[in-house]
Amino acid sequence: MNPDVSCICLTHGRPWLLAEAVESFCRQRLNGIRAELVIANDCPEQWLLCDVPNVMIINMRHQVMDLCQKTNITMEYCRGRYGCLWDDDDISLPDRITDGVARMNGTLAYRPLLCWSWNDGEIRHVGQPLFCSAMFDLTFVKARGGCVAGGWNDRSLWDRLYPTGRVVQYAPKPEEMQYIYRWGGIGWHESGSGEQNSEKRAKSFHSAALLDPRFKRGQVNLVPVWTHEYETDVKQAIRQGKGQIVK
């Protein structure tokens, strides 16, 4: 039986972050929803393995120089009706999938307007993500060609869906926010693609991966883990009054 939701995770040479993204998937409170995590790894020097149920890893032999193209390749392996980006350097809290599915309700996309922002080991404030924390109709996106090459994948997906008028945007309360966007304190931070110099940026990203002292060549077995108890961190941030948007 096909899953209801496909989580689309793009990664390249930083399994210490990816292990936290996989742990985020493992901790999802699905309440009967069927979900899969599809990971696309295009770092040819590193072969990833993971024995977690419902986690699929696509190990590519060559680096894909365009982030949107890499997203489209990954979506072809996805079997779910709904899709969501599952960035390898961010954290999804345990109710992200169930909340997203509940809010779709016949629309083509649900976009939370707020998320937690993490910097240097702690939640500092509330941020405004573009589309990385959203849920969308994967079958609709795939039928229309996926992302447009040459840009950021989250922005491309949003540009594909927003003109339809069938999207829901919602500013969640602090206790409802299910996404933590991480900025600093996690190593080099760059998605490797964008509107300009996509190939140059991808090569730079690859070089940074190989130079990182934590990088290991060859086969790497992913062991899911959170380095922080993020749910506890969120509760503390709420108590400290950090659940307000920073202008």
Is 53 within a domain? yes
Output the domain CATH number for residue 87.
3.90.550.10
- What pLDDT score was predicted for residue 35? 98
Q: Is residue 246 part of a domain?
A: no
Look at residue 148 in the predicted model and tell me its pLDDT.
Answer: 86
Domain annotation covers residue 114: yes
Mean pLDDT of 53-77: 95
Q: How confident is residue 96, by pLDDT bands cut at 50, 70 and 90?
A: very high
pTM of the full structure: 0.94
What pLDDT score does 17 carry?
Answer: 94
Which pair of tokens denotes residue 59? 């190990």
Report pLDDT for 119: 86
CA dihedral 92, 126, 102, 96 (to 10 degrees): 10
Domains identified in the chain, total number: 1
Residue 24 covered by a domain: yes
Percent of the chain with pLDDT over 70: 93
At residue 202, the pLDDT reads 83
Mean pLDDT, rounded, of the chain: 91
93 is in which domain, residue-wise? 5-239
Domain assignment present for 215: yes
Q: How confident is the model at residue 107 (pLDDT cuts 50, 70, 90)?
A: very high
The model's confidence at residue 62, banded by pLDDT at 50, 70 and 90, is very high
Q: Is residue 245 part of a domain?
A: no
Q: Do the domain assignments include residue 244?
A: no
Give the model's pLDDT for residue 246.
54
**Cα separation values, 115 from 33, 90, 92, 131, Å:** 23, 11, 10, 11
Task: Give every CB contact of residue 60 below 8 A, 6+ residues apart in sequence.
Answer: 40, 41, 42, 44, 73
What's the pLDDT at 170?
A: 93
247, part of any domain: no
pLDDT at 192: 45
Distance of CA 164 to the CA centre of its chain: 23
Q: Which of 36-40, 91-95, 152-156, 159-163 shows the lowest per-residue confidence on average (mean pLDDT)?
A: 152-156
